[in-house]
């Protein structure tokens, strides 16, 4: 949102609030504003938490290459694998 648009919306809202003469309406507006701000903050933190960097193609290929080397070593008996029960217990 551009600064001009933001400022014009803010000014319009301020004028509307200044025109309100009922205390209950003002309290309701304040509560709604506080609630909306909290909701927007929680949405922005959820988005930030969900953002994880993607693995690059080279990182994926390196991982697959390492896994293939480990499998080869296990087949040759030079590396011992972990039992499936141990892997499942980690979950």
Residue 29 has a CB neighbour count (10 Å cut-off) of: 15
pLDDT in tens, 6-59: 899 999 999 999 999 999 999 999 999 999 998 888 776 665 555 677 888 898
pLDDT in tens, 55-72: 888 989 999 999 998 888
What DSSP character marks residue 76?
Answer: T
Say whether pTM exceeds 0.85: no
The structure tokens listed for 23 are 């205390």
Contact 84, 91 (CB under 8 A): no
Q: Which sequence spans correspond to the domains of the chain?
A: 4-42
Residue 37: name the closest of 45, 49, 47, 25 by CA: 45
Residues in the chain: 91
């Amino acid at each position: 949102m551009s600064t001009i648009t933001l400022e014009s919306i803010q000014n319009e809202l301020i004028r509307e609030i200044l025109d309100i003469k009922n205390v209950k309406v003002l309290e309701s507006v304040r509560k709604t504003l506080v609630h909306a701000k909290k909701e927007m903050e929680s949405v922005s933190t959820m988005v930030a938490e969900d953002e994880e960097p993607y693995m690059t193609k080279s990182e994926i290929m390196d991982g697959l290459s390492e896994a293939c080397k480990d499998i080869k070593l296990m087949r040759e008996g030079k590396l011992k694998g972990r039992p499936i029960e141990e892997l499942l217990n980690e979950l």
